Chain A
Amino acid sequence: MLRVEDAQVSVEFSPELLNKMADTVTRYPEGKQKSALLPILHYVQAEFGWVSPNAMDQVAAFLKIQPIEVYEVATFYTMYLLRPSGKYVLEVCRTGPCGVVGADKIMDHIEKTLGVPEGTVTPDGLFSWRGVECLAACGFGPVLQIGPEYTFYENLTEASVDKLIGDLRKGIKE
């Protein structure tokens, strides 16, 4: 859901980001540059931690498409974070096979450990967490992923989650 207050935030695209965007457009035939939209939104999210309305407008201008064409895509796909999130977003798979092997318990444990409900940021700005649908790692559940690299953490236990959160607090990331 887009929020009015988030529309006030303006961001500046780095030259590296712009280069990557220009490079991506060359993958598609002439005039089909809109195909670059999904990859570009991933780059934007990796750079700023979320996809702000202002960033979307800049992407639209870059791809020579209407802003609404970017908004409708960013709101359709679940990976794009449409409001500021924690530095580390823990996304826990909660679908079928992971549910069978205890994803609910892991989510309860994360909620207790971080002390914030799903979808909100911890006061230090480091973490947020949410349940997501199947991550195609059903044999190694429960699993969670952390963007923007989307590293997978498999066969989670309460102890391994504690260690992961502890490491991230210390700034250690695999």
Chain B
Amino acid sequence: MGRKLLLEHINVPGINTFDVYRSKGGYASVEKALKTMSPEEIVEEVKKSGLRGRGGAGFPTGMKWSFLAKPEGVERYLVCNADESEPGTFKDRYLMTYIPHLLIEGMIVASFALGAKTSYIYVRGEMMPQIRILERAIAEAKAKGFLGKNILGSGYDLELYVQPGGGAYICGEETALLESLEGKRGNPRIKPPFPAIAGLYGCPTVVNNVESIAAVVPIINEGGEEYSKLGIGRSTGTKLISAGGNVKKPGVYEIDLGLPVEEFLYSDEYCGGIANGKRLKAVVAGGSSVPILPANLFLKTINNEPRLMSYESLSDGGFVSGTMMGSGGFIAYDEDQCIVRNTWNFTRFYHHESCGQCSPCREGTGWMEKVLHRLEHGHGRMSDMDLLVDVSKKIEGNTICPLGDAAAWPVASAIRHFRDEFEWHVTHGAEAVTRNFGLAHYADPLPKPEVLA
């Protein structure tokens, strides 16, 4: 069983209140950072920890911090990205609901490291209960002298605010988030300039995911080097995984990176296997944007090595036979699920959420949705699969922000791995409306030969 760095005290009654959180060693990192460390030393610790952005891109957090421009007399901002909206991901909601002070503690340390005097937590609008929880926690921290003027007598001032979004997936993209925070439509900006140079209100800004900010707390408490001992290779530390779909025990799990996927999926400590005694058909390992994998390729890489829950192992094989860690939104599909229907569902989502700036994404997602709709409803053509791949390739890489890629990858990968199921939808149009294709040859465990025949 791995060590819990973020969720260690999650089951302590009243951990959402300042006093209980403090009695469990909470806010120690603020004391340590403000009283004994310089901002540069904090950035150095985070660099040493090897922490990689937990929002999906996996960019090293310490490196992102070190890029922040520091011109004289210009405000700098830290913005926490709590616009969690990647289908399959619900770890940030969980963390903010049950242990809000962990995020606030991390925000104080990170803001101090970056020299930000005002910081914002941008929470998706649908999470109004979490916004109320955070606002109450901020008021508590402020009353105890951990926010506001001259924090703990260090001379450092910080104001922390919660900003609600309005219901738009695209605002999880950092420049769209900044536009939204400025009271505009969430249209991503052309980069460069990157937010580290010109972000919120044109000032240097760092945008970090909730979990990345929370991870700063154990990194400062125990040192970057200690943190980097957890995990495997360049995937250091622990990661929150949101397990959903057809697993027996859905929920948020904190794992040491490097845990074998088989253990994560089947052991009782984590997902507990597939619900209702069904068999595993496919897995989306890191949120809806990452390539979907059939069970056999998910559990073992193409070289027949067991796959691990780490950035490197999940992407082993590239997009041909691998996937991505993404945001840790783990969705398992059992034998009764229809891949065509699921792909159509995801594509409808991306079409709905495309901001409309770039033609390839705005038009391409809609086109793919229509084609997938007719496939699912028994009116597809054999040429549709090539058409979908063609459209997805023309979206990928041709848009301002990665939403285009995110819309293209699930479609391309579904056709790559489940082409027979798509073709069956064409050849058995009427039947496809009434029943699902089933398992075919990619299930785990493999079906008996007579079932396949």
Contacts and interface: CB of A to CB of B under 8 A. Distances in A.
A136 B124 contact: yes
Given A96-B288, A96-B342, A138 B90 contact: yes
A55 B263 CA distance: 55
Interface in B108-136: 118, 124-129
11 contacts: A38-B125, A72-B184, A73-B166, A77-B166, A77-B168, A79-B167, A95-B288, A133-B352, A134-B349, A136-B90, A137-B93
A62 interface: no
B388 interface: no
Contact of A138 (B88, B127, B161): B88
B251 A73 contact: no
Interface string A68-100: 010011001111100000000000001111011
B183 to A, nearest CB: 4
B88 A97 contact: yes
Question: How big is chain A's contact interface, by range?
Answer: 35 or more
Interface stretch (B34-42, B79-87, B150-158, B231-239): B79-87
Contacts of A20: none
Interface string A126-151: 00000011111111110001011111
Contact of A137 (B90, B164, B245): B90
B182 A34 contact: yes
A65 B201 CA distance: 16
Interface of B: 75, 84-90, 92-93, 118, 124-129, 159, 161, 163-169, 180-186, 201, 242-246, 250-252, 284, 288, 329, 331, 333, 337, 341-342, 345-346, 349, 352-353, 355
Contacts, number: 150
A135 B87 CA distance: 8
User: Among A39, A41, A134, A147, which residue has the most Cβ atoms of chain B within 10 A?
Assistant: A134
A41 B85 contact: no
Contacts of B345: 94-96, 99
Interface in A16-64: 27, 29, 32, 34-39, 41-42, 63
A101 B246 CA distance: 7
Given A139-B250, A139-B251, A42 B125 contact: yes
A150 B164 CA distance: 12
Contacts of B329: 138
A79 B87 CA distance: 17
B306 to A, nearest CB: 25
Specify which of A32, A38, A133 lies most central, judged by the most chain B CB atoms within 10 Å of its CB.
A38
Given A41-B166, A136-B84, 5 more contacts: A35-B182, A42-B128, A42-B166, A80-B167, A99-B341
A77 B165 contact: yes
Nearest to B244: A138
B184 to A, nearest CB: 7
Nearest to B82: A136
